[in-house]
Amino acid sequence: MTARTLYDKLWDSHCVTDLPDGSSLLYIDLHLLHEVTSPQAFSNLRRMGRRPWRADAALATPDHNVPTVLRELGTGGFDDPIARRQVETLERNCRDFEVPLFPLGDLRQGIVHVVGPEQGLTLPGMTVVCGDSHTATHGALAALAHGIGSSEVEHVLATQTLRSRKSKNMAVVVDGPLGDGVVAKDLALHVIGRIGTAGASGHAIEFRGSGVEALSMEARMTLCNMSIEAGARVGLVAYDAVTQAYVEGRPFAPEGAQWVEAKHHWRELHSDAGASFDRVVEVRGGDVAPCVTWGTSPEMVVPVSGRIPHLHEARDEVQRADWSRALAYMDLPAGASVHGTPIDKVFIGSCTNARIEDLRAAARVLRGRRIDPRVKLALAVPGSGLVALQAEHEGLDEVFVAAGFEWRAPGCSMCLGMNADRLQPGERCASTSNRNFEGRQGRGGRTHLMSPAMAAAAAVAGAIVDVREL
């Protein structure tokens, strides 16, 4: 039998049929929904008199537009009437179509890509879709997961299938452990800096090697989350003992005889020896340093000890023009050191870095310290109500507040400027999110992507610094 990659195995086991145009129809095991990309789908189902094919294979929770303050007031605490309407519409649609919902006020509510794995809804071997590009996060559990558009949300609700085209296979092999103070976020930015934001276009990335095997489950989620920023649609990590330990005992995970049977099946969720990849990128774990973006694309990244490139270093005229525009927007000089760049705000959260391990890492830096007076606002936003509860049980909220941070309620928050948490024009933010496009965190806002510990260090210093100095 031909050796297959993990991606091949997941695809083959869910392919209903191959279609004449070269695409395939895939069966979808889990469909996650939120308030922004689902209204159109439900409206069309209602108009056509259709019902979800398997409502029990879906879960909805509001996250993108929800405010992170005054949550005890429910939608009455929303200043934005559009956001209020979207969340109320989600609640009504889930009620009308009998789709399970974790609403505001439910301890399980949170960022959909935190909630799925946390609840054991996302399981190894599944296909998972959501109307959000960072659905790739779930691939850390050896699941085939990716984002879909609003029309596809309707199609999956109605048929439990998705028309899709198979990607090529790409391996990112990390040899050896990451160094002290270096985490999965740095590894992701390092890879994106090497291959560019289009480097994995048309590919599914499998993260492999001893450096990946040594990562925790939550770190693997961060890595798969940012595979999107490398141009891939899918990020994957093979099933192993780390995956099993993470899944076991979660609310929706199999139990008893089903758990035994599931583990037996999941052991095959890895690439076979001799499986062929269309592209292989090799990384030495010890070569990765804490990374910071300087521009308006995740590929505009340097080690914290590095400098912003000069325009003459660009590979071609297109990149030179991109760099020139980014330097103007970010108000930074070419050739300058990124270390020491002053910041105005700090954001620790998002589907990339709002899990308990992320909050612990930031709190270790902040304990016994205060944020610099130059920092106007510092936000710590847990990824779910359960993450918040665990953090509060450990006293992490007290560490953040004592340092000068605001401890907020779960949601996407300042990641995308779609709610009340956003940058003002010209403000510079140390952010643990995943995108640094122009206006991503608010019109005219300037975003520097980094790890939670690096963001905490920037808050203390009032500028971008190397966390290892602290």
Query: What's the pTM value of the predicted model, to 2 decimals?
Result: 0.97
Asked whether residue 343 carries a pLDDT value surpassing 80, the answer given is: yes
The answer to whether the Cα torsion of 134, 383, 289, 284 is positive or negative is negative
More confident residue, 284 or 74: 284
Sheet holding 58-60, edge to edge: 58-60, 30-33, 127-130, 144-147
SS (H, E, C) 151-174: HHHHHHHHHCEEEECCCEEEEEEE
Distance CA 131, CA 133 (A): 7
pLDDT at 42: 97
The string of pLDDT tens digits covering residues 77-120 is 899 999 999 999 999 999 999 999 999 999 999 999 999 999 99
Distance CA 468, CA 470 (A): 5
Q: Domain 291-469 in CATH: superfamily? A: Aconitase, domain 3 (3.30.499.10)
Structural fold of domain 6-164: Aconitase; domain 3 (3.30.499)
Domain edges within the chain? 6-164, 168-287, 291-469
Which CATH code fits 168-287? 3.40.1060.10
Listed residue (251, 261, 415, 427) closest to 330, CA to CA: 427
Asked whether residue 1 carries a pLDDT value surpassing 80, the answer given is: no
pLDDT at 418: 87
- Identical fold for domains 168-287 and 291-469, yes or no, is no
Average pLDDT over residues 11-17: 98
Could you tell me the end-to-end alpha-carbon distance of the chain, in angstroms, rounded to an integer?
53
Q: Annotated binding residue at 130?
A: no
Phi/psi of residue 293, each to 5°?
-80, 145
Q: What is the mean pLDDT of the chain?
A: 97
Q: How many CB atoms lie within 10 A of CB 110?
A: 31
pLDDT at 417: 84
Q: Annotated binding residue at 429?
A: no
pLDDT at 383: 98
CB neighbours of 45 closer than 8 A, spacing ≥ 6?
Answer: 51, 52, 97, 154, 157, 158
Q: Annotated binding residue at 415?
A: yes
The string of pLDDT tens digits covering residues 366-422 is 999 999 999 999 999 999 999 999 999 999 999 999 999 999 999 999 999 888 999
Query: How does residue 352 score in pLDDT terms, banded at 50, 70 and 90?
Result: very high
Burial class (CB in 10 A: 0-12, 13-18, 19+), 201: middle
